[in-house]
Amino acid sequence: MPLAPLRIPPAAGWLGAAGLLPFLGLAIATLVLGGAPGATARAAVLAYGAVILSFLGGIHWGLAIAAPGPARLAGWLGLSVVPSLLAWVALLLPPPGGLLLLAAAIAAMLVPDRRATAAGQAPAWSPALRLPLSAAAACALLLAALA
């Protein structure tokens, strides 16, 4: 019997897509605009990427505290703060380096996302949403880093 397709809840789909607009708009602005406006767009996409990376860590904090039993709570909570720390470091680096760090970290967050889904702690539809969102965000950050 074939598996039913995963249905991403509509609100998650459109809010996730809307969250890509700053990534895409600012990355394009870094390419199109020169001088101070281009530098401002680059700083803005760096800041937005740091906020989103912290948000991704917050998802795992929430999954950890919602999970039954304290067996691995300390480890999971510890790992859930790593994205915020990396985001902070990215903000302290010059933009090309900070943008590259954010792109790599957002892509790397797919690993704990998939593990949480496999363990039944995140919804089955989560990877279907996160993979394209993470890929687009990482590509936008790379584009801004190379501009």
Domain total in the chain: 1
DSSP codes joined into one string, 7-64: ---HHHHHHHHHHHHHHHHHHHHHHH--HHHHHHHHHHHHHHHHHHHHHHHHHHHHHH
Q: Give me the average pLDDT of each 10-residue run along the chain (147 residues).
A: 68 96 97 93 97 96 81 82 97 94 97 90 93 97 94
Q: List own/partner pairs for 24-32 with CB under 8 A and 24 or more apart.
A: 24/136, 24/140, 26/140, 26/144, 27/140, 27/141, 27/143, 27/144, 27/147, 28/143, 30/143, 30/144, 30/147, 31/143, 31/147
In a domain? residue 111: yes
In a domain? residue 118: yes
**pLDDT number for residue 4:** 47
C-alpha neighbours within 13 Å on the C-beta side of residue 8: 16
Q: Which domain holds residue 96?
A: 47-146
In a domain? residue 82: yes
DSSP codes joined into one string, 126-143: HHHHHHHHHHHHHHHHHH
In a domain? residue 135: yes
In a domain? residue 12: no
In a domain? residue 19: no
